[in-house]
Amino acid sequence: MPGFEHHVFVCHNTRPAGAPRCSCTADGRSDLHTALQQEVKSAGLGARVRINKSGCLDQCEHGPMMVVYPEAVWYGHVRPEDAAEIVREHLVGGRPVERLRVADDCLNTKNCPHRS
């Protein structure tokens, strides 16, 4: 079987109440992860796209977070309602969903203006 065309990592990190940085999930579940799995299956991409749970992606200010490889496209503030658009536009059409992309200058930097 050939390898996957895309790996999608969806943050499942949960922090305690009052933590200085927010959590991507409030209860360790991810409706986003479930919605992406369902959309991938509906689009017939199950053998070509893998939706993975991940630990903290260290981009908490932009959570809920996810990243799509091999393109390394980072999406922030993603809701379950966005799953169909991400699958249709990015995973099927090859066009990242720009409105959900996290700016490159905010990734992996303490200088991001959104970082607390």
The rounded percent of the chain whose pLDDT value lies above 70 is 92
Q: In the prediction, which pLDDT does 94 show?
A: 96
Q: Which domains does the chain have, with CATH numbers?
A: 6-106 (3.40.30.10)
Residues with Cβ < 8 Å from 25, sequence gap 6 or more?
Answer: 11, 12, 13, 14, 64
Residue 68 — pLDDT band, cuts 50, 70, 90?
A: very high
Q: In the prediction, which pLDDT does 5 show?
A: 95
Is pLDDT at 29 greater than 90 in this prediction? no
| Phi, psi torsion values for 66, nearest 5 degrees | -155, 155
Angle, vertex CA 106, rays to CA 28 and CA 49, nearest 5: 50
Residue 20 — pLDDT band, cuts 50, 70, 90?
A: confident
Six-digit token pair at 18? 């009052």
